[in-house]
Amino acid sequence: MSEQDNNKNHSLVSPKRLVLIAVFVAIIAVFFTSDVGQYLSYEGLANNEAAMKQAVADAPVLTALIFVGIYITVVTFSLPGALWLSLAGGLMFGTSQGGMLILVGATIGASLLFLVARYLLGDTLQARAGPSLEKFEKNFNRDAMSYLLVLRLLPIFPFFIVNLGAALVGVRFPIFVVTTFFGIIPGTFVFASVGNGVSVLLQQGQQPDVSVITKPEIMLPLIGLALLSLLPVVWRRFGPSVETKNDNA
């Protein structure tokens, strides 16, 4: 092994990266060994509904900031319970305000995970990348805006998988942030709206229908938006090329 390879391998396991990995592992371990997870569930909503609404009434700004901070943490560390946290946002703040808070928290959390994943694993992947992976990265990043919008609009893959995958294939950070923010708007406000009506369901002893996102009246418009997002890809592939235009001229 050459000295250059030794230096590269050493940089991949630098103390800063080891500390960051340790922090991630510690926070995830605390989550699973504590009682925090019980609040991110149907029982958590049912048992704490009055307390959450009272907190908003007493200190709306502070409660909103705490909510966004919790949402950022959950998304950054890919902790389970983001769905129930979204419903809690709608329950506490209503559809409009709750949706905006969820949108901000999810976008910031996803962006932080993106940056951490690129810092921890980006160099490793590039060092091991072969011709096939390099070709895939090039093709994906050529139309990254379109592809990421589709992945955000349609629940094809889990949220954290898209965050990690985008980081590992070298998507530019501004494109990731923009597509995340705008791509998750429809789903975000759907779940905030469901959360806004949770009080009635809790009084009736019923659970919210979290599969509402897959219903035709919601899924079909999302599919339509996804197809519109792919139009630049279709045009690039099947539209008239620059050479053809020059020849016709």
Tokens of 196: 């806004």
- pLDDT at residue number 212: 75
Query: Above 80 in pLDDT, residue 108?
Result: yes
CB of 195 within 8 A of CB of 98? yes
pLDDT of 247 higher than 70 = no
Express as a percent the part of the chain with pLDDT over 90: 40
Pick the range with the lowest mean pLDDT from 75-79, 118-122, 217-221, 243-247. 243-247
Indicate the burial class of 97 (C-beta count within 10 angstroms; 0-12, 13-18, 19 or more): middle
What is the b/e burial string over 48-59, where b = at least 16 CB atoms within 10 angstroms of the residue's CB?
bbeebeebbeee
Instruction: List the single range of 65-69, 84-88, 139-143, 232-236 with lowest mean pLDDT.
Output: 232-236
In this prediction, residue 207 has a pLDDT band, given cuts at 50, 70 and 90, of confident
The per-residue pLDDT for range 129-152, each reduced to its tens digit, is 566 677 778 888 889 999 999 999
Query: Cα(148)–Cα(156) distance, rounded to whole angstroms?
Result: 11
Give the model's pLDDT for residue 10.
Answer: 47
What is the per-residue pLDDT across 157-189, written as a single tens digit (0 to 9) for each? 899 999 999 998 889 999 999 999 999 999 999
Distance in angstroms (rounded) separating the CA atoms of residues 177 and 117: 15
